[in-house]
Structure 1
Amino acid sequence: MKITTKQEYFSVMAEIEGLYQKGFSNLSSEEEKRLDLLAKAVEAWEAVNYPMPLKPQFPEIVEYVMKSKQLNQTALAGELNISKGFLSQLLRGTKVPNTEVLKSMHEKFHIDGNLLLESLV
């Protein structure tokens, strides 16, 4: 499977979200295979259309997530379960993320944990 348009990307993301809503433990083996196929297609599309900078700083990772997921600060703050003010400070680099923020970025947006930790030094 290859995603070629933004519309296809959003359709695939919606399908992935539907499978996530079902819960991993409730997926059939066919649904698990479909989810894996969809995730690989999304990764390939995002690598071209929303590339992550090499050795990014944490604010760059946050900006990447906002752009690639089309989230504004309010929506991302809600996803991360933090205040909009704290997110703003993270984006400016005046605050560093706590463990819960790093964990949420990893789990919700599939950002590599090592990349997140390395972005703080």
Structure 2
Amino acid sequence: MIQSKEAYDLTMQEIDSLMKRGEANLTAGELKRLTVLAAAAEAFEDLHDPMPLPSSLQEIIRIRLLQLHIKQNFAAKLLGVSDAKFSLIMNGKQKPDILFVKAIHEKLSVDANVILKAI
């Protein structure tokens, strides 16, 4: 666990050094060390410099689709709406109805509190 900004900076330098060598050129021990360092750095960043939450429902959906590697036309089907309705919602030309919002929570596994703060 990283306890200070100085330790974080050193960790990032070591990560950078290992990454510059390329994953294929690292030993099994170095790969394991890289994984541990990356997890520790991420935990420190989440605690001390968290990423801001998206400010709109459309941003939340876009980010989640990227994370899940889902295209918009598949997302529309998954969420139970037509491609046209999905496009209108994503472009801010139509407000989402409760069934759409519920589908975002259930089908895309987006926290309901995050959704409520965005709408």
When normalised by structure 1's length, the TM-score is 0.53
Q: Helix, strand or coil for the counterpart of 2:53?
A: coil
Q: Following the alignment from structure 1 to structure 2, what is the Cα–Cα distance between the partners of residues 52 and 90?
A: 25
Which residues in structure 2 correspond to 1:55-66 (within 5 Å)? 55-66=54-65
Residues 108 and 90 of structure 1, relative CA distance in 2, 3 Å threshold: same
The CA RMSD over aligned residues, in Å, is 2.2
Write the letter of the residue equivalent to 1:86.
Answer: K
Aligned to 2:67: 68
Q: Following the alignment from structure 2 to structure 1, what is the Cα–Cα distance between the partners of residues 65 and 85?
A: 15
Q: Helix, strand or coil for the counterpart of 1:97?
A: coil
Q: Following the alignment from structure 2 to structure 1, what is the Cα–Cα distance between the partners of residues 62 and 54?
A: 14
Contact 2:54-2:60 at 8 Å conserved across structures: no
Aligned to 1:10: none
In structure 1, runs of 5+ residues without a counterpart are 1-43
Write the letter of the residue equivalent to 2:93.
Answer: T
Contact 1:52-1:64 at 8 Å conserved across structures: no
Aligned to 2:90: 91
Aligned to 1:113: 112
What is the percentage of aligned positions where both structures have the same residue? Answer: 29
| Structure 1 residues 47-89: Cα deviation after superposition (integer angstroms, max 9, x where no partner) | 8xxx975242011011012111111111000100101111111
Total equivalences in the alignment: 72
Q: Following the alignment from structure 1 to structure 2, what is the Cα–Cα distance between the partners of residues 102 and 72?
A: 18
Higher Cα Rg: structure 1 or 2?
A: 2
**Runs of 4+ in structure 1 over 2 Å off:** none
| Structure 1 residues 15-69: Cα deviation after superposition (integer angstroms, max 9, x where no partner) | xxxxxxxxxxxxxxxxxxxxxxxxxxxxx9xx8xxx9752420110110121111
Write the letter of the residue equivalent to 1:96.
Answer: K
Which residues in structure 2 correspond to 1:1-121 (within 5 Å)? 53-120=52-119
Residue 108 of structure 1: how far off its partner (Å): 1.5
Q: Following the alignment from structure 2 to structure 1, what is the Cα–Cα distance between the partners of residues 73 and 54?
A: 26
In structure 2, runs of 5+ residues without a counterpart are 1-42
